[in-house]
Homo-oligomer: A and B are copies of this chain.
Amino acid sequence: MMVKLIKTYINPTLSEALEIISKAVSSKELTIIVGECSVDYQGRSESRLTLGERVIIIKQDGAFLVHRPTGYSPVNWQPATSIIETRLDKDKLIIMAVRRKPRETIWVYLTRIYTIITGKLVDNGEFIMYMDEHEIRDILYEHPELIEEGLKIIEKEKKIGEGYADLFGIDARNTPVIIEIKRVTATREAMLQLYNYVQTYQKQTGVKPRGILVAPTITSSAIESAYKLGLEWKEINLQKIWKYRKNKNIKHGTLFDFLKNKR
């Protein structure tokens, strides 16, 4: 049986680290470095980060992350890199990571290294996300009565101009209806997005459609915008929507509780 090879190096010298890291990177291993460094970035913007202790992760596809000891976001990063070069310069181990498009570069100047982990991770796990906007849209497609009695949906993802309206249908009086769905609180921005569809549709067909923004909650200024732009909105209960989902065989107890507690 193959033994998993995850290697750990404690307090390596910078020249030892140079060899470890360059070897790991060239064989596309995941590399984690805990140490003290400063970081420069230049590309779409430019940044400087002075000395401090951080975690650097170089992933198997070249994704590059520099994490400070707090917070969700990396302080510097590259989503993917084509070139990763390492070299020693005096008392610093320099890692340069270059992204092709857009052309961007990170330089990490390591002054001290506490730990390095290298190894090939195998992850064939399946990731499934539930209750995203797509799923809500599909449920409302099947159950338009949740938006308005008498509403008939004709099309999902209807192309209007350059964009796509979430749902398109006709109401009880045969007026076309364009529907924009948000799974989180809808802001003025969502109302403007809907307005764009309504306006483009009218321009293209000569018929003025209704525009309905559907969301669990809507900000007051979005409602104000709706009045100004001649749009409508409908607050929906996610818990109710959730009950109409197709894959009822899947257990979602806690999400249900979560939604219940919100309402």
* B-binding residues in A (CB < 8 A): 4, 6, 8, 10, 30, 32, 34, 38, 42-55, 57, 59-61, 63, 65, 67-72, 75, 77-80, 103, 105, 114-115, 117, 119-132, 161-163, 183-184, 188-189, 192-193, 195-196, 199-200, 203, 221, 224-225, 228, 252, 254-255, 258, 261
Contact = CB atoms under 8 A, between A and B. Distances in A.
B115 A45 contact: no
B162 A221 contact: yes
So how many copies of this chain end up in the complex?
Answer: 2
Contact of A59 (B45, B61, B69, B161): B69
Given A32-B32, A42-B252, A162-B224, 14 more contacts: A4-B114, A32-B34, A43-B255, A45-B130, A45-B255, A47-B130, A48-B126, A52-B122, A52-B124, A75-B127, A114-B119, A161-B221, A192-B193, A203-B228
A6 B48 CA distance: 26
Contacts of A79: 71-72
Contacts of A52: 121-125
A189 to B, nearest CB: 7
A65 B51 CA distance: 23
Contact of A43 (B55, B123, B258): B258
A161 B191 CA distance: 15
Contacts of A117: 32, 34, 115, 117
B196 A132 contact: no
A28 to B, nearest CB: 10
A48 B254 CA distance: 13
A181 B105 CA distance: 25
A252 to B, nearest CB: 6
A42 B255 contact: yes
A115 B6 contact: yes
A226 to B, nearest CB: 12
A51 to B, nearest CB: 6
Contact of A6 (B32, B72, B114, B196): B114
Contact of A30 (B59, B69, B163, B192): B69
Contacts of A221: 161-163
Nearest to A70: B61
A221 B54 CA distance: 43
Contact of A71 (B43, B44, B61): B61
A43 to B, nearest CB: 6
Contacts of A53: 121-123
A205 to B, nearest CB: 15
B42 A125 contact: no
